[in-house]
Structure 1
């Protein structure tokens, strides 16, 4: 009997392919003329991974362990990015700031923290309400600390180390990949993901709002010359094909592939561009 739709493993594998195509554009820009189509295809990847992580939060047996893996991934990526930027600079002049682990962690933290606050309120456990509220606010607190240190200046060496420590260890809502846009997208996926109709309507509205707020649509020629994140709309068919079956379990493959393929592509780009 033929399987209807795509299971979790299949949809993540497709997202991985789209992500790799996007990162080829990112890594080799300035070395070769990589077609813009690579970047457009890449807009499909992040929404799929975000959707799948909200499904993970919905069905995982151990949310704390799930979030811990994402946080460790975020920490490793931040350290790896710093090393790669120091020793393998991009020919385009840009720097590696890719860290979808951080974005996914914040989304899961908000889901986890909010639900814990609600359940603690119902149980009248107000000390837990305070604790989980502070935990949920952590990405905002880290952002505020980063701004405070930046405004104070880096007159002392310890301020530089403190700044680097916070940026590396504490995911910030203002300095994470995709920013608040992808985080709001993830929260919407969690709220509406059980119904394909609600999911589709939410995603169409989100893509349309992003388009009208961020894109210069005064002429056809400017549509692809400005922010193309609105083309995340191309991910919708894949989201709707998801059949809620898990499929093969290769979770560590995806955790490992993400940093390794970025650093591999950047290293190759560095030597080819010399």
Structure 2
């Protein structure tokens, strides 16, 4: 009852998110021994971080720095993960298992989309058509950036890998088209019930596209409805560092265990 009265700060939601995320990544990295239903714990996580990014974008004093931090995180993960997987020798189930995790990419694209919403809102105020076209262009940008990949199949692999590492797009986002939940959550940032409806709709569509376990993302509604509007402790750098480090550590441990068990 005290939680219902007090509610959750954005810090609390982040902590809940990383706990569930670690459980999910334990399943991902140790899929050869951890039961598949453990994957359910991770389904609400991306949506929770989508919500937190909306709060962050709405209140940050420097949106450019916010976008830059997410892009740096995107590139670090995009370059660091394949370097790690190539460096660590592994056998058994991990032999062809590559790291593709990069929620920074989804959040970076989400900020681009929220910028697009802001330009369209600005157009509604000042009627400058340039703002309208900027807004539409930014809302379409994650899709447009994915189009070159369709025509890159004949190019050298390093070129393809370089493009996917440095140029985020909807095609390489972990949550694919579900990143468009972010601008919707932003549009309705002052209405938790409508945000909940957006999440429920996203869960329904996601379960059809990615499998029935995706439906569990609807559980993100619970902490979001309990959000009390407070920030809580900052610890921004901790969350930026924790994400890649815990994935890389779990992956390294799993590769070692796999090489021992299945060699």
Q: Output the TM-score relative to the length of structure 1.
A: 0.83
SS at match of 1:194: coil
Write the distance in 2 (CA, Å) between the matches of 1:189 and 1:136: 14
The structure 1 residue matched to 2:148, chosen from 128, 145, 150, is 145
Question: Structure 2: which 5+ residue stretches go unaligned?
Answer: none
1:51-200 equivalences in 2 (<5 Å): 51-88=51-88, 91-92=93-94, 93-119=96-122, 123=126, 134-150=137-153, 153-154=154-155, 159-181=156-178, 183-200=179-196
Q: 1:208 to 1:4 in 2, by over 3 A?
A: same
User: Paired residue for 1:236?
Assistant: 221
SS at match of 1:149: coil
Write the distance in 2 (CA, Å) between the matches of 1:191 and 1:126: 20
Write the distance in 1 (CA, Å) between the matches of 2:214 and 2:202: 11
Q: 1:200 to 1:117 in 2, by over 3 A?
A: closer
SS at match of 1:248: coil
User: Paired residue for 1:256?
Assistant: 241
1:32-51 equivalences in 2 (<5 Å): 33-51=33-51
Q: 1:214 to 1:116 in 2, by over 3 A?
A: closer
SS at match of 2:145: helix
SS at match of 1:273: helix
Write the distance in 2 (CA, Å) between the matches of 1:252 and 1:139: 26
Q: 1:198 to 1:114 in 2, by over 3 A?
A: closer
Write the distance in 2 (CA, Å) between the matches of 1:256 and 1:37: 28
Q: In the alignment, is the contact (CA less than 8 A) between 1:192 and 1:202 conserved in 2?
A: no
SS at match of 2:234: coil
Q: In the alignment, is the contact (CA less than 8 A) between 1:139 and 1:170 conserved in 2?
A: no
Q: In the alignment, is the contact (CA less than 8 A) between 1:143 and 1:173 conserved in 2?
A: yes
Q: In the alignment, is the contact (CA less than 8 A) between 1:142 and 1:166 conserved in 2?
A: no
1:60-102, Cα deviation, whole Å (9 max, x unpaired): 1111111111111001000012112212358344321100000
Q: 1:96 to 1:234 in 2, by over 3 A?
A: same
Question: Structure 1: which 5+ residue stretches go unaligned?
Answer: 216-225
Deviation at 1:121, TM superposition (A): 7.2
Deviation at 1:107, TM superposition (A): 0.9
SS at match of 1:247: coil
SS at match of 1:48: helix
Q: 1:189 to 1:114 in 2, by over 3 A?
A: closer
